[in-house]
Amino acid sequence: STWTVTGMTCGHCVKAVTDEVSAIDGVETVVVDLGTGAVVVTAATDPTREQMAAAVDEAGYSLV
């Protein structure tokens, strides 16, 4: 699934979002595009909007 995150400005931001989203149960890979804010998640079962919002919020950013 693909999500959009706002507020990321650097490599640290990408790592923070990647780490938090990776911690969601079932998530296999997370690819973050800093330029567009796209976060592509590969998972056995796609995370819910609530799970993604909580993970992104924990990292300090906002889910669109």
Q: Could you tell me the pLDDT band of residue 63, with boundaries at 50, 70 and 90? A: very high
The reported pTM is 0.95
Q: What is the pLDDT of residues 21-36, one digit of tens each?
A: 999 999 999 999 999 9
What region, left, alpha or beta, does residue 56 occupy, with left being phi > 0 and alpha being psi -120 to 50 degrees? Answer: alpha
**Mean pLDDT value of segment 31-53:** 97
Q: Could you tell me the pLDDT band of residue 15, with boundaries at 50, 70 and 90? A: very high
Which residues touch 48 (CB under 8 Å, ≥6 apart)?
none
